[in-house]
Amino acid sequence: MEKNKKQGMNRREFLKKSAIGAAAISTGIGMNPFAGGGRAFATKTVGKQKVIIIGVDGMDPSLSLRMMNAGLLPNLNKLRKQGGFSLLGTSNPPQSPVAWANFINGAGPGSHGIFDFIHRNFHDDQIHPYLGMSETVAGSGYLNYSDYRVGPLNPFNSGGTELKRHGTPFWDYLDKDKIPSTFYNLPSNYPASESNYGNHRCLSGMGTPDMLGGYGIYQHYSEDGPDEMVEAGGMSSKLVLKNEHASLKLLGPDSGMIRPDLCDNAKDSQECEDRRHELAECFIEFDVSRDLSAGAVAIEIQDQKAIVKKNQWSKWLKVDFEQAAPWFLPDPHIGGIVRFYVQDLNPLKIFVSPINADPSAPAIQLTEPSEFIEEMTDSLGLRYTTGFQEDYNALKDGVFSDDDFIKQADIVLEERLKLLDYALNDYDDGLLYFYFSSTDMQAHMLWWDSQEKHPTRSPEEASRCFGYIQRLYSKMDSVIGDILAKYDDKATIMVMSDHGFANFRRQFNLNTFLRDWGYVEPFDCTNVLSNADWSKTLAYGFGINGLYLNLKGREPNGSVEPSDADALKDELIRELEAFKDEDGRQVIKAARRTDKMYSSTNDEVKAITPDIIVGYARDFRASWDTCLGGVSSEIMSNNNEAWCGDHCCDSNEVPGVLFCNKPLGSNAPSLIDIAPTVLNMFGLPVASTMEGKNVLKG
């Protein structure tokens, strides 16, 4: 979440430090996030019950109601008239990984243990961030040889990427009862949990990394660009043409075989660091040739050639990276796929998509079972495989214009609709879940539903972008109409979102507030992770909505006695809720103690749970600096990012929506109710692990 924009930063250093972007954190592909092992999918049992769930991430109830009332969402409005519409209570906090985990478990964070996009763990008495959905961990039993680290050699601790969601997903109960279920682009499930009985399939969604170990790391080359610059979400390089030709480098993943301690005892540490970076640097050279008369660029990479005109994208191209290894081992290869976008011809600007895993031969496990992705690819060809497919980082960093972003987002939606056709044609019975990201990521970047000044756009531009969101809602309505036309009398159909949306106009730095109120020391602390005086620091902000006490026995250098924790939490809540912005508006609608919201018997979950969830009022959110422990000079500041829409506020401010072709019987359904409803529809009881209820009438 922390913006990181430094001229001349080493690219490998960038991959370590700044893959934690606006909505994602690097898993460090060098630590081998290649989760293995799938199971063959059993032959489907013949059944009569059909349930289809369409997840439309971020679909907002207020906008949906306005558009239904205006006759712009006729298919969803039809469901509303039949008694099949309600607001849908979201998670607390209302962040997508938390919300979809609520849906998966039929229970809240105390069950699944995902509280934020960003969690923390402790190494060497230091706080370290990781993605809340999954964490890449090193194995053990490494062998150091020369400049290299070989391993891990311990067969009982081989490391890799671990799914951090705890508890029991509701499809396990279907799987055991021989009820087939298939999930497409499911968030909060990478690496995908196994099917124990062979009746479950899943394509992982949000949380799936790109091949640099991040969540949307682009590469950009331009004639008028810097020699080398890293932004919050990508890398830019100078493009120098000679006789209309240039040779460029596409940076690839680090194998993780370079010794991390290579320079610990070196006499010339800089020379050693240069050597380490040289060994780790993995790239492919590619050539570009500009033809101004033809208005196109020829791109040649690894025996593939693409002719791309201005404002056009290439097809998907396969890339293969050969990485350094000691002499007695074969050089490892990691493959991927990329697309090239010619932004401009003069000056020449070329954008390269994040390196996606190649679905025809994936280096990471994209599906459960592992061969499921190959079946899809046989029918659909190459396509996006990362969890975040819209290139939001490029728009945030100013590399994309609004039109560039919309064009690329339309490609994502087009691919997703082809996948939907595949999913429906492949569907027989049981449960089918299909997820759309477009309504969420486009809203983050294009939302603005008020007359207040937009952070980065003129009123006309803001209105035009919001009009795109409305057209997107109409498109989703048309998609739902097609599904209803085919299945309305044959299946129970649910359309749901995990949360709504709000403007993100002002940002609140929680750690600056805590510093000014005397809870963070010293006063000149710039980041609690690096230079707080923990002997005097009582509390700190970390993640988007989390506030933690510096609790003895839990934090590495805790200063708060457990007996004082209750009083301190209540004191912090009073002061946070009393805080007002410069115009007198309440910034924090509600700060809530997690020990009064969640219950858990899992010690690992307890250890990572924030003590307080800070719920912001509409228009407000945690500052970008807060999320990784930063301490800004001011408590309040304007949000001047292209990321202008958000939902990480108080849960009551941004409920989701639920539509169904069957009447709803519950007055206040919530995300945790969907799983119990599905189990009941298949004749199964609500599991004891669940907190929700059946929401259908009768």
Domains and CATH numbers, the chain: 1-31+133-162+210-385 (no CATH), 52-114+165-208+387-499+655-698 (3.40.720.10), 505-652 (no CATH)
Name the percent of the chain lying above pLDDT 70: 92
Confidence of residue 318 (pLDDT cuts 50, 70, 90): very high
pLDDT, tens only, 442-491: 999 999 999 899 999 999 999 999 999 999 999 999 999 999 999 999 99
Torsion angle, CA of 421/425/427/428, rounded to 10 degrees?
A: 160
**β-strands 181-186, 430-436: how paired?**
parallel
Opening angle at CA 558, ends 556 and 564, nearest 5: 150
pLDDT of residue 540: 98
State the DSSP string of 624-672.
TTGGGTB--SSSEEE--SS--EE--S-GGGS-EEEEESS-B--SS-BGG
Tokens encoding 694: 């059946």
pLDDT of residue 585: 97
SS3 105: helix
Q: What is the DSSP letter of 56?
A: E
- For 261, half-sphere exposure in the C-beta direction (CA atoms, 13 angstrom radius) is 7
Q: Name residues whose C-beta falls within 8 Å of residue 14's C-beta, 6 or more positions apart in sequence.
A: 4, 230, 235
Q: How confident is the prediction for the chain on average, in pLDDT?
A: 90
Q: Name the amino acid, one letter, at 85.
A: F
Region 221-225: what's the mean pLDDT?
92
d(CA 32, CA 30): 5
pLDDT-wise least confident of 276-280, 445-449, 531-535, 689-693: 276-280
* pLDDT for residue 12: 42
Q: Give the confidence band of 6 by pLDDT, cuts at 50, 70, 90.
A: very low
- What pLDDT, on a 0 to 100 scale, did the predictor assign at position 541? 97
Lowest mean pLDDT among 6-15, 40-49, 51-60, 309-318: 6-15
pLDDT on residue 293: 96
- Please compute the mean of the pLDDT values over residues 616-632 and round it to a whole number: 96
Least confident of 30-44, 66-80, 275-289, 607-621: 30-44
Q: Contact at 8 Å (CB) between 679 and 101?
A: no
Q: Is the pLDDT of residue 48 over 90?
A: no
Q: Is the pLDDT of residue 3 over 70?
A: no
Give the pLDDT band (50/70/90) at residue 323: confident
Q: Is the pLDDT of residue 386 over 70?
A: yes
Report d(CA 368, CA 38) in Å as an integer: 6
DSSP for 496-530 reads E-S---EEEEEEE-HHHHHHHTTSSSSTT-SBHHH
Measured CA to CA, the distance from residue 632 to residue 610 in angstroms comes to 21
Alpha-carbon span 430 to 195, nearest angstrom: 15
* Residue recorded with tokens 């004082």: 564
pLDDT confidence tier of residue 387, bands split at 50, 70 and 90: very high
Per the model's pLDDT, the better-predicted residue between 521 and 333 turns out to be 521
- pLDDT of res. 225: 81
Residue 232: pLDDT over 50: yes
Residue 45: its pLDDT value, please? 37
What Cα–Cα distance (Å) separates residue 506 from each residue in 452, 603, 641?
A: 12, 36, 11
When comparing pLDDT for 161 and 339, which is higher? 339
Q: Is residue 15 very low, low, confident or very high in pLDDT (cuts 50, 70, 90)? A: very low
pLDDT in tens, 253-264: 877 777 777 777
Please tell me the least confidently modeled range out of 19-33, 120-134, 262-276: 19-33
Cα 450 to Cα 501: distance, rounded to the nearest angstrom: 12
Query: pLDDT at position 607, please?
Result: 92
The pLDDT assigned to 274 comes to: 74
Instruction: Give me the pLDDT at residue 337, please.
Output: 98
Residue 35, pLDDT score:
32
Q: How far apart are CA 308 and CA 298, in angstroms?
A: 6
